[in-house]
Structure 1
Amino acid sequence: MTQPTRRALRFGLSLAPDASAPLVRIAQDADRYGLDLLGVRDRPYLRDTADALTLMATALAVTTRIRVLPAVACLPLRPPALLAKALATMDALSGGRVELGLGAGTFWDGVEAYGGPRLGGAAARRSLEEAVQIIRLHWSDQNGLRFQGEHHRFAAAQAGPVPAHQIAIWFGVTGPRALDLAGRVADGWIAPSSLVPPKRLADGQRRLDDAAARSGRSPSELRRVYLLEGSIDARDSRGFLHGPPRQWIYEMTELAVGHGVDTFLFGGHPEQLPVFALEVVPAVREQAARERRGLAAGPAGPAGHAAPAEAAPAG
């Protein structure tokens, strides 16, 4: 299992770009509540959804501190050079508040309906690897750029614009071969709780770590992002990430200390954002810090946290 992270924990919101929702206000609330990240889901083929990149730019313009990313960008409908230019522009204009979540593609019927290619698993992974090469090339300060791959090609006399900071690329993938690729070339992994529950998380972490180590990279350099697809309410537990705040505090602390997760994106209903940001997040920060100190204290280890009676164990 991945060793417990010593990174400062980050917390954010995964926002569905429902065009009928008060998207600007939600983004401002996430910023005002002190969250670190705003992830915007990118599924342009769904009816009545706002464009993810346009929403990101708007969110950056009306906030002051929160970082914004596509979580995750739909590569088959986002040519990598154009995606790189858009994100670099947003990063430069916002003073370095952009990251990139990138996926190989899913919901292929929708992708194809919107004019994108339908790719099999191996082809989608190769397309993703090529896209990362183009994006990083575009963000470089080199001249005379040229790339010719199986799925993407790119040529430009000059790169740019250059981002204000080194934008991280986090892969939103779940399959074993895609995790191998993430360990080799990405800066982190975005794992959705619906597809990667705690029982699968340890295996995914090991796969990611092994691939990174084989490539001569330190696994500790990779950020571990967990998408919390659940519901916070006052009723009794209805399973993992479906229950009262104290259950969420327990389960998220276990994910951070026991599973090495260092970043959380809340994917529940925006109406639950105040409880998540103002009640759950501070308690998880405090509890995780306490348990980390206990782990560092010596062989006796920490005084373990006790799960509430209705909490579903996170591992």
Structure 2
Amino acid sequence: MSDYGHDLAFGSFITPDSGDPDRTVGLAVLAEQLGFDLVTFQDHPYQPRFLDTWTLLSWVAARTSRVHLSANVLNLPLRPPAVLARSVASLDLLTGGRVALGLGAGAFWDAIEAMGGRRLTPGQGVRALEEAIDVIRQFWDTDARGGVRVDGDFHRVVGAKRGPAPAHRVPIWLGAYKPRMLALTGRRADGWLPSLGYLQSGDLSRGNEIIDDAARQAGRSPGDVRRLLNVTGRFAPTPRGPLDGPADQWAEELAELALGEGVSTFILGSDDPDDLRRFAGEVVPAVRELVATERAAASGRTPVPVEPATAPASRPSVTGGAFAVVPTPDDGRRLSDRRVWDESARPTGPAPDPTRTYTPHELATGQHLVQVHDGLRAELAQIHDLIEQVAAGEIDAGAARSEINTMTMRQNRWTLGTYCESYCRVVTTHHTIEDQALFPRLRERDPRMRPVVDRLEQEHRVIHDVLEGVDRALVAYVAAPDGMSELRAAVDLLTDTLLSHLSYEERELVEPLARLGAH
């Protein structure tokens, strides 16, 4: 039994499908909006059905602002380590420290050789990977004197200038299964990243033993190596097999892997947005709660509420000591002279009970609401940027319309509510209710919430109309390029309307969602 005590993290493993690039990128953006810590893509440069992974990572980095990014894992035989070192450092600097480096020794050697790569035996692949790690880390170590010097059998870099240094210490994770690769992971890597589907019973324990022994022999602690795991499965109403059943079954099985096998990062392999929503909304908070409870019991401590690792840490609490999810405040700034509603007429719900306590699972529903809203706020900033690109002549209004139409806020059925569209898909797993059922449940469970819910639904319809106004302004701008002021006015009105509404919705719903049990 191994638990290395690492903080839990959760990621997505998305197919880099070249057939529908917008959907591929959209899944990555959705993962960030749902609160995932990590987005990853496989790397098979010889596969024409796939987008180039490094190009895709760079594009996704520009479309996101918080989530970390990694290949899962990079095909080293077709990625020269000296160039790769500078590519990783550059992207890490551009993203403010959001990059991890997943590496593999190589597979599918016929395809690699057809692309100009050198065919290696398994033993040669391991030695080449270790030399590559030396090359990469020397490039990043700008405090050392002299140039990069690795005179290996497979990689030779003699005197190249070091740098740039990445924005943070980029972790190197190895996709490893065999003893020599596992030993290399223990000696040199920051993480072990296998896929559960490729492992047999007992492989995780045996792999941990090899990594731990190699780490100790290299003067390291076994805890220096994070244990990550790619997982796949199916959500179903009843248990059918491992990771094939309801969300609570998933949570229990992943918690067992965390506590018994030391896995601290779970990466879901799925291109289904509903799977991503269920995993983020139901499985992740339950795993966090189960692991925190067991760790606290083992140490004799009292468990404390657990929030996702990505929860904003700078917001002051406004709801009392026991309730840790904090609504985003409305700063009161307005860009437009128009008012589409009377904010002073907004009803308020019942005041929270300051003596009530909440479980981490209950708190997760409100936190998810804030995370979804943060994604919409990020998209709003993108809309402002698009309009400025139109004004500068960098893109035309048609291109701006096309990009806005792919955004979550544009595709969202506002009459159902921002939260319903994203979160109710998760709760249907247990309650077989339609996406529209969240607000009726709030009305039913606490009649005092009815005025608030009625008002929120009204505002959702207004937001839909305001978005339509932005679209009409873009269309008008095509016919009359002097209409930039009208276009900016439409976006300013959207900004005022959306930010005001999101703050109001969070203020009124985060506590009732936990108290009334919307899951």
TM-score > 0.5 by shorter chain? yes
Give the secondary-structure state (helix, strand or coil) at the position aligned to 1:83: helix
Could you tell me which of 277, 280, 284 is aligned with 2:283? Answer: 280
Could you tell me which of 160, 169, 172 is aligned with 2:172? Answer: 169
Does structure 1 retain, via aligned residues, the 8 Å contact 2:174–2:193?
yes
Divergent runs of 4+, >4 A: none
Q: Deviations over 1:264-308 (max 9, x none)?
A: 11113333111111111111111111111112129xxxxxxxxxx
When structure 1 is superposed on structure 2, of 60-69 and 14-23 the one drifting more is 14-23
Give the secondary-structure state (helix, strand or coil) at the position aligned to 2:39: strand
Higher strand proportion: 1
1:57 corresponds to 2:58 = yes
Amino acid at match of 2:109: W
Deviation at 1:144, TM superposition (A): 2.4
Higher helix proportion: 2
Q: Distance in 2 between matches of 1:199 and 1:248?
A: 19
Deviation at 1:198, TM superposition (A): 5.0
Could you tell me which of 258, 261, 267 is aligned with 1:259? Answer: 261
- Structure 1 residues not aligned, in runs of 5+: 299-315
Give the secondary-structure state (helix, strand or coil) at the position aligned to 2:256: helix
Deviation at 1:242, TM superposition (A): 2.5
Give the secondary-structure state (helix, strand or coil) at the position aligned to 1:116: coil
Q: Distance in 2 between matches of 1:110 and 1:237?
A: 39
Deviation at 1:118, TM superposition (A): 1.2
Provide the residue aligned with 1:160 in structure 2.
Answer: 163
| TM-score scaled by length of structure 1 | 0.90
Does structure 1 retain, via aligned residues, the 8 Å contact 2:11–2:36?
yes
Provide the residue aligned with 1:17 in structure 2.
Answer: 16
Does structure 2 retain, via aligned residues, the 8 Å contact 1:232–1:245?
no
Provide the residue aligned with 2:297 in structure 1.
Answer: 294
Q: Distance in 2 between matches of 1:285 and 1:38?
A: 19
- Give the alignment of 1:107-122 within 5 angstroms: 107-122=108-123
Largest Rg, 1 or 2 = 2
Does structure 1 retain, via aligned residues, the 8 Å contact 2:236–2:244?
no
Q: Distance in 2 between matches of 1:288 and 1:117?
A: 44
Deviation at 1:213, TM superposition (A): 0.6
When structure 1 is superposed on structure 2, of 96-105 and 114-123 the one drifting more is 114-123
Give the secondary-structure state (helix, strand or coil) at the position aligned to 1:115: coil
Does structure 2 retain, via aligned residues, the 8 Å contact 1:189–1:225?
yes
Q: Distance in 1 between matches of 2:61 and 2:168?
A: 15
Does structure 2 retain, via aligned residues, the 8 Å contact 1:231–1:269?
no
Q: Distance in 1 between matches of 2:272 and 2:139?
A: 35
Q: Distance in 2 between matches of 1:194 and 1:113?
A: 28
Q: Distance in 1 between matches of 2:41 and 2:199?
A: 20
Could you tell me which of 192, 209, 220 is aligned with 2:212? Answer: 209
Where relative contact order (Cα < 8 A, 6+ residues apart) is larger, the structure is: 1
Q: Distance in 2 between matches of 1:204 and 1:75?
A: 22
Provide the residue aligned with 2:336 in structure 1.
Answer: none
Provide the residue aligned with 2:418 in structure 1.
Answer: none
Amino acid at match of 1:12: G
When structure 1 is superposed on structure 2, of 28-37 and 148-157 the one drifting more is 148-157
Provide the residue aligned with 1:150 in structure 2.
Answer: 153
- Give the alignment of 1:219-234 within 5 angstroms: 219-228=222-231, 230-234=232-236
Could you tell me which of 268, 271, 285 is aligned with 1:269? Answer: 271
Identity %: 44
Judged with a 3 Å threshold, the aligned counterparts in structure 2 of structure 1 residues 269 and 238 are, in CA distance, closer, same or farther, namely farther
Q: Deviations over 1:198-251 (max 9, x none)?
A: 5211111111101101111000111000110x2232244343223221221111
| TM-score scaled by length of structure 2 | 0.55
Amino acid at match of 1:294: A
